[in-house]
Amino acid sequence: MQLTPEGEIFYAEAMRTLAQAESAINTAKRAAKGEIGKLSIGFLGSATYVFLPELVRTFKAQYPGVN
- The pLDDT confidence band at residue 5, using thresholds 50, 70 and 90, is very high
Return the domain boundaries, the chain.
1-33, 37-67
**How far apart are alpha carbons 57 and 32 in whole angstroms?**
22
- Sequence letter at residue 50: V
Helices (H), 1-67: 5-32, 48-62
The pTM (predicted TM-score) of the whole model is 0.64
CA distance 29 to 49: 33
How high is the mean pLDDT of the chain? 91
pLDDT for res 47: 64
Give tens-digit pLDDT for 11-29: 999 999 999 999 999 999 9
Q: How far apart are CA 11 and CA 40, in angstroms?
A: 43
